Structure 1
Amino acid sequence: MKDHKITLEISETLFEQLSLLAEIKEESIEYLAIEIIAAKLPCLIQRESQLKQLLEAIKPDSIHSEIGL
């Protein structure tokens, strides 16, 4: 698998929190950022996919019947 490099701009507060966690865990900030993204991403993909399916299921007729038009 090919690796890719990205550059992120994050707030000072978020950077400080990440730095603190890196210090506690004795890991690099970069490693922790990747670890956090990798842990959260599957859940976000699933949630967004489900939301997209729900939104695609809404038809104009169903909206009108829901609001009594």
Structure 2
Amino acid sequence: MTKRQPDMAACAGDEHPSRPLADRSIAMAYVPWQKWRGILELEKGFHSGTIFEELNKPFTGGRR
């Protein structure tokens, strides 16, 4: 169960410095229904980690 976000009456600087986001949710996601289109070939899907072409999003980030 997540906590309700506090009202903005308090200043952001009032938070304890070692736990600045302790009472806030990390994230909220929106996940649309997957449509069965653009299905990859079995071997390519296996190597990609998904059979859906539109979900094949290779990681391109790196260390900063």
Which category of TM-score, normalised to the shorter sequence, fits these structures? under 0.3
> Whose RCO is larger (CA < 8 A, sep 6+)?
2
Q: Normalising by structure 1, what TM-score? A: 0.23
Q: Normalising by structure 2, what TM-score? A: 0.24
